[in-house]
């Protein structure tokens, strides 16, 4: 095994990582990275720094697994990078033959969790459709798209046409490109001004 790198985390500034640091150092950690972050937040600057410092063959050590947060994601990343995981409380050492099983267990749990999420999503969509709802993006209004293309053909810019019809600017640009329409024919300025006056966007 390479170097042992410790990671300590407490939830509030009222707490101190000194106790965890002492235990990690006693377990052989040559360097300890500490975060003061709630378990609910995704930000772990010290953990990010540790992972940037670590090399293949090193080990990440924690006092307890719950110090890591996002456990399944972190464990998968450690395995991919060839970094072992040590947990003092749970007595886990994935650098050993028996400890290797832990990586496989966590991987299986992560796979199971992904399948559950996918199944819940499908169930939710099916339930919504049964109630007459249609999850996902709303279908484009064909009439509005046709009107937008007509305005662009007549000389209005795609941006102004989108604003006039209440469509997304990127939607109109995409449809204009798909239709192969030249974006800025002669006289665009005068038509755009006229439409502005008609809609009340410009003062007379």
Residue 26 is predicted with a pLDDT of 94
Give Cα separations from 193 to 22, 81, 164 (angstroms). 73, 60, 12
Strand ranges in the chain using DSSP code E only, listed in sequence order:
4-10, 31-36, 59-62, 84-87, 92-93
pLDDT in tens, 117-139: 777 777 777 777 777 666 565 66
Torsion, CA 154, CA 158, CA 162, CA 163, rounded to 10? -90
Is the pLDDT reported for residue 81 higher than 50? Answer: yes
Is the pLDDT reported for residue 107 higher than 60? Answer: no
- Cα–Cα distance, 143 to 24 (Å, whole number): 67
Residue 173 CB neighbour total at 10 angstroms: 17
Return contacts of 122-130, CB within 8 angstroms, 24+ apart.
Answer: none
- Cα–Cα distance, 84 to 96 (Å, whole number): 9
Return the bridge partners of 32, or none: 6
Is the pLDDT reported for residue 88 higher than 50? Answer: yes
> pTM, whole model, 2 decimals?
0.51
Report the alpha-carbon angle 131-136-163, nearest 5: 120
Catalytic residues: 11
């Amino acid at each position: 095994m390479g170097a042992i790198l410790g990671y300590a985390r407490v939830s509030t500034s009222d707490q101190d990582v000194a106790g965890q640091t002492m235990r990690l150092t006693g377990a052989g950690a040559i360097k300890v990275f500490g975060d003061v972050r709630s378990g609910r937040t995704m930000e772990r600057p010290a953990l990010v720094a540790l992972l940037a410092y670590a090399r293949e063959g090193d080990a990440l050590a924690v006092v307890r697994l719950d110090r890591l947060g996002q456990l399944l994601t972190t464990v998968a990343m450690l395995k991919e990078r060839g970094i072992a995981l040590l947990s003092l409380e749970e007595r886990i050492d994935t650098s050993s033959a028996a400890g290797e099983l832990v990586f496989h267990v966590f991987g299986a749990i992560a796979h199971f969790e992904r399948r559950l999420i996918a199944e819940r999503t499908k169930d939710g969509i099916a339930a919504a459709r049964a109630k007459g709802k249609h999850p996902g993006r709303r279908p484009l209004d064909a009439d509005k798209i046709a009107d937008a293309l007509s305005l662009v053909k007549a000389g209005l810019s795609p941006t102004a046409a989108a604003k006039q019809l209440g469509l997304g600017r990127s939607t109109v640009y995409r449809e204009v490109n798909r239709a192969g329409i030249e974006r800025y024919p002669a006289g665009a300025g005068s038509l755009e001004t006229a439409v502005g006056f008609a809609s009340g966007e410009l003062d007379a």
